[in-house]
Structure 1
Amino acid sequence: MTEEQPPYPTRPPTEDPPATPPPPAGPATAPGTPVPGQFPGWSKGATPPPGGYQPPHLPYPPPGYPGFVPPPPILPRNGTGLAALILGVVAASISWTVFLSPLAVFLGLLAVAFGLIGAGRAKRGAATNRPAALGGLWSGVGGAVIGVALTVVLVVRILTLIGVETAAGSDYLAEPGEEVVFEDGLAVRMNEPRRVHDNEIELTVNVTNGSDDSVEVFDDSIRALVNGTEVESHLVYQVARNIEDLPPGESRSVAFRIAVERGARDLGIDYAPGGDYEYAYWQLPLPGSGEPDGPPDDERPEDEDPPGASLDV
């Protein structure tokens, strides 16, 4: 700029800039009512929505304005900790059962995982049941450890079943009265089936403990096949069950009832005297479908031993 140029070439230097007119006076507003231009989206003459003005960039009206509704409370996420506690208690309860020990291991591992998640949520403040999560975690650890130990016992027990020592019952099907001896000295004999009803026969199994230790024979297992077709398990049942162990040198008889169709002639039996024994196999002739071979239990004389009674040797 030179000395000859005026400071404002388009305006005389003696004139002042026009003054900004004051805003027109409007009606008085009530306290708390938003002023036009205070929030985005508000224009002069616009009618506030019912319940008060809500700024478009806020999900809720600011506190202090009409229609303000507080946001819903955030509930604690306690489900994972509760699940860990339930799974841990169940795992610890069934871990002492040999046959359910694999399930205890699985549930125990789930309890540990849920317990870690629940404890982490409680540490961050998202959950309030940290004791339940930790309880489920540690009970799951205990159940899993015990379950692993008993699962090993179960596997060893399954893989080391006591086999049949004699050829009868293993190499060929044993016949009525033929003795089947297992590797520990336990001997089993089966009598010829007798018909107690037109469609039911009774089979007596005699077990003698020739070993040096007591044997658990109350958890025996039997499968019946009539004319080559397996009989459903609910149609084969034990008449009398003795849950006591069989001492060395003693014998015991167990009676089974088997549903048999009319005209059937062949009866195949797979029998294991205990949970630690393999199955031995018999082929027995079936009586005819005429009159029963003996009286039913309710008509048996009082001095006659019922099926399933112990035999003295």
Structure 2
Amino acid sequence: MSQTQQQPQYPPFQPQQPQRAARNGLGTAALILGIIGALSGLIPIMFWLAGILGVIALILGLSGRGRAKRGEATNKGVALAGALLGLVSLGLSVFGAYTTFKAVDDAVDEINKSVSDTGAKGTDKAGKDDKGSGAKDEAPAKGKALDAGDSVIYDDDLTITVSNAVTWNPSEYAAGHTKGNHAYKVTVTVENKTKAKFDSTLLTAEARAGKDGVDAEQIFDDKVGTGFSGSILPGKKATVVYGFDAPADAKNLTVEVSPSFEYDATHWDLKL
């Protein structure tokens, strides 16, 4: 009997498929753009560039991470780093925008304040001239005081008038009066011709007496020296009487009125 020799069986040959190259471009691009965006965000004025690059880096980083999860890319960590740097760039962009706009607003406010502070008119207004007209006089020379009864009109039309100094005898309960000195009453009138109410509590009045400019102490006696209170509505006016103590030999009283820190102070030279 003959035996049949069995031939060994081999699995069918399968051709080896070529390995696909890793698609790491998105993750690498995200990392580069994220780094540039974060560096740009360190400069507040470059907030716009940091914001744009941050958005792109975030999108590319998340897309690259998705590729890595599907096995199409091998740089999962790089893509994640790019996405995180994109978030950092966006945060720096928001902070830079806030800082830049705030700096611009502050600069504009300072310019407006400077213009307001230097724009006070030195125009004085006499009650009436020799012909009885109510025309405004020319502005007094710089460094010179106004006369009694004259008015100063500021740029916003706030008008302040100081009357002549009038002698009076303070009561025995008056504060600020020294025996042997003369007491004078000065009336200050504020007319609010602006479009907004004026906080009159900020107004201050001080005085100096004589050629040596000795401080004239303010006298408080009943309603004299109480100062303004509350606000003055547009189109309204308010009047307050101040009292000042001056040496007996003083020939003049220089009164300085400051409406508030937003206005320049104005001086009146009152003859005693």
TM-score band by shorter chain is 0.3 to 0.5
Greater strand proportion: 2
Greater helix proportion: 2
- Of structures 1 and 2, the larger Rg is shown by 1
TM-score, normalised via structure 2 length = 0.43
